[in-house]
Amino acid sequence: MKKFFSLGIAGLGNVGLATVKLIQNNSDLIEKKAGIPIKITAVSARKRSKSRKINIDIYDWENDALNLSERKDIDAVVELIGGEEGIANKLVMSSLKKGKHVITANKALLASHSLEINTILLNTSSGFYFEAAVAAAIPIINVINTGISSNQINYIKAILNGTCNYILSEMKESNSSFDDALKRAQKIGLAESDPAFDIEGIDACQKLSILGMLAYGTKPEIKNIYTEGIKNISNLDMIYAERLGYSIKLFCIANFENKMLDFRVHPALIQLGSIASHVNGALNAIFLTGNYSKKLTFIGEGAGPDPTASSVVSDIINAAKNRNNNQKILLENIAEYPYLSIKERSGPYYIRFLVDDVRGVLANITSCLNENNISLESIIQEGDNKGQSGVNIVIITHDTKEYCMDKAINIIRKMKTVLEEPKVIRVEDI
């Protein structure tokens, strides 16, 4: 019988190094939990000679990560390179085909190639683990697949991008502009120099597609998920939202009703006083309801090397424990359901118009809304706009369909008295 569980680790960026460090530091505990010692046998990264805080010379080095999938002395390949194509993709696929267990944190790969991985898994004895791909330290994959597996999940609502949540929290707390808050996020390493992937909601969308796949057994289809980032959220909207009893979050929704998938990522006003409104900084949160569990809430670090390594190594322990017992954590049967169009979204809206301070403006706007079956729950109109030209009219509507809202806004934006593009933000229950 083999004396240890042998790893090949590909990718020695921040997460890769934190993974190595965690395996070194918690080794006694890891052995106790896994029931077998876990040893790193070989590593691979772009450059061998780079200066690193951790000594990697004690491990075999592979210039070509793909060699890890070939080595007979490796039980499991840990893929921490990232990216949906390229070497990460090849390494995962070939390792699985060769019967290696695979542990990955690669959300892009899962969001785009889950069907392919699924097909391979059906014909191999490999185990496949990806806890770290969504919400870093929060073990939400494990919760959905195992902890609450007896439930039909009714909905998932989530805050899945730590960068956006940090920026929005910062805008609110420090009364900053979006640009300033973004700069601060970049300064502390929470946002990339090209922040598009985070602030446009793509990262959150990939993660949501994975949760949706696990919750509803549906094929992930990024292109069908309505995705809107946070670039248009202004500090002024934060302030008005708060006055109206709301805070603004980048919200992810995966709802399954009447055999339709309602998946979307967009900024949303959520009630102050809700637990979600207290999820600040770089935290992630997932709120879901099962038909028996009822509502469950999970909050934790959604990014960062250590929290991500926490899930990577917990997966490694799981892989070692189940090494002789194939774990199929992808889907046995992938279902394809239609996606609800964002136009069919029904709910309240926050709208802000910057208008000329002349008689009749408010009447024109409200009658246009009324003609499109949109009724108002609350309204703020203020005379003084601190020396700026125009005044703001801020409205929270009652429930309405998005296509009605679109129609009304299309008319209102063309009014001469409306000075800038109207701001529309969905209001969501949580």
Our finding on whether 410 is near a second copy (CB under 8 A) is no
Which residue in the list 100, 107, 157, 207 is annotated as catalytic? 207
Output 211 or 374, the one with its CB closest to a second copy. Answer: 211
Output 254 or 365, the one with its CB closest to a second copy. Answer: 254
What's the rounded Cα separation, in Å, for the pair 264 and 403?
Answer: 16
Closest CA relative to residue 21, chosen from 49, 48, 58: 58
Out of 267, 307, 348, 422, the residue judged to bind a second copy by CB under 8 A: 307
Our finding on whether 314 is near a second copy (CB under 8 A) is yes
What's the rounded Cα separation, in Å, for the pair 232 and 27?
Answer: 47
DSSP string, 257-314: ETTEEEEEEEEEEEETTSSGGG--TTEEEEEEEETTTEEEEEEEE-SSHHHHHHHHHH
Out of 296, 368, 415, 419, the residue judged to bind a second copy by CB under 8 A: 296
The 10 Å CB-count burial string (b at 16+, else e) for 149-179 is: eebebbbbbbbbbbbbbbbbbbbbeeebebe
Out of 13, 147, 281, 390, the residue judged to bind a second copy by CB under 8 A: 147
- Helix, strand, coil shares of the chain as percentages rounded to 5? 35, 25, 40
Our finding on whether 292 is near a second copy (CB under 8 A) is yes
Min separation Cβ 365 and a second copy, Å: 36
Output 84 or 306, the one with its CB closest to a second copy. Answer: 306
- Joined together, the tokens standing for residue 422 give 């109207």
Our finding on whether 12 is near a second copy (CB under 8 A) is no
- Joined together, the tokens standing for residue 279 give 């999820």
Closest CA relative to residue 159, chosen from 83, 211, 109, 108: 211
Closest CA relative to residue 364, chosen from 404, 414, 405: 414
- Joined together, the tokens standing for residue 300 give 């934790």
Min separation Cβ 293 and a second copy, Å: 4
Our finding on whether 146 is near a second copy (CB under 8 A) is yes
Query: What is the CB-side half-sphere exposure of residue 20 using CA atoms within 13 A?
Result: 25
Out of 14, 67, 94, 142, the residue judged to bind a second copy by CB under 8 A: 142
Our finding on whether 148 is near a second copy (CB under 8 A) is yes
Output 216 or 349, the one with its CB closest to a second copy. Answer: 216
- In three-state secondary structure terms, 132 is helix
Our finding on whether 309 is near a second copy (CB under 8 A) is yes
Q: Is 207 annotated as catalytic?
A: yes
- Joined together, the tokens standing for residue 293 give 């569990």
Out of 97, 243, 295, 416, the residue judged to bind a second copy by CB under 8 A: 295
| Candidate ranges 44-52, 188-196, 249-257, 303-311; the one touching a second copy (CB under 8 A) | 303-311
Output 304 or 422, the one with its CB closest to a second copy. Answer: 304
Min separation Cβ 255 and a second copy, Å: 18
Footprint of a second copy on residues 195-234 (CB under 8 A)? Answer: 217
How many Å is the maximal CA-CA distance in the chain?
86
Which residues form the catalytic set? 207
Residues near a second copy (CB under 8 A) are 18, 22, 25-26, 29-30, 32-33, 35, 131, 137-139, 142-143, 146-152, 217, 273-275, 278-279, 290-301, 304, 306-307, 309-314, 316-318, 322, 324-325, 328, 332-333
